[in-house]
Amino acid sequence: MQPLQHQMMGYDRAITMFSPDGRLLQVEYAKKTVRQGSTAIGITCQDGVVLVTDKRIVDKLIVPKSVEKIWQIDSHIGATASGIISDARVLIERSQLQAQQHRVTYDSPIDIISIVRDIANLKQLTTQSGGYRPFGVSLLIAGVDNGKAKLYETDPTGIYFQYKACVIGEAEPEVEEILNKDYKESMKMDEGFKLAIKALKKSLDKNFDPERIDAAYVSNKDQKFSRLTKNEIMNYMKK
């Protein structure tokens, strides 16, 4: 057993080298990093798409408002993340620049899939290039294209999928079970927020605190990214 462990350590250190059983171990470690990150949920609804996330404030001296876990990419697109948040910030800033350049060049908002593909392409590049490490973060990218709500997830491998509802982070198994049971395509954003906050409350249990929750949405009607206030979040907790 000992020689095999030493043999695997070589593949463990090289991002571009497959192990004998066909695995890229550094990429798998990046995915484990995401599973240890704070929970983030996205839900598409009839009238828009919602994002709800746990900011995981572990130090009572931290100012809650200073912790950002949901970002605006363009007026009609938002995103949240789980994993290494500094990695997420680099990807988000790249996407914000791409969205601005698209508006200047074409005088129209960028479509969500263009943002998703660019992020996924960069993530994939770092899985096959020496001198890099994989991005240790998964992103939920949500928005409205032509009046239709859309939600995508990208993971550290560079793959992406479109979802009706999705969760990433440490509570993924528990929240995914709740989403599979209670999600309905006919639900409105009010119901979506209620479901997401209910799932976070169950997964966080005694650690649940409204100060830890960040929430935003993009409605089909005005196609504008908006954040929920603390009072609005607390109202959803009571429902």
Give the model confidence (pLDDT) of 132-179 as tens digits. Answer: 899 999 999 999 999 999 999 999 999 999 999 999 999 999 999 999
Residue ranges in the chain modelled with pLDDT below 70:
1-11, 239
Strand ranges for the chain from DSSP E: 40-45, 48-54, 70-74, 77-83, 137-145, 148-154, 160-162, 165-168, 213-219, 225-227
Report helix, strand or coil for 220.
coil
Residue where the block lists tokens 């954040």: 227
- Say what the pLDDT of residue 70 is: 97
What the chain holds in terms of domains, given with CATH numbers, is 2-238 (3.60.20.10)
Q: Quote the pLDDT of residue 215.
A: 97
Distance CA 16, CA 27 (A): 10
Phi, psi of 203 (to 5 degrees): -75, -35
Contact 105, 89 (CB under 8 A): no
**In this predicted structure, what is the pLDDT of residue 1?**
43
At 21 the pLDDT is 85
Burial class (CB in 10 A: 0-12, 13-18, 19+), 213: buried
- What pLDDT is attached to residue 10? 66
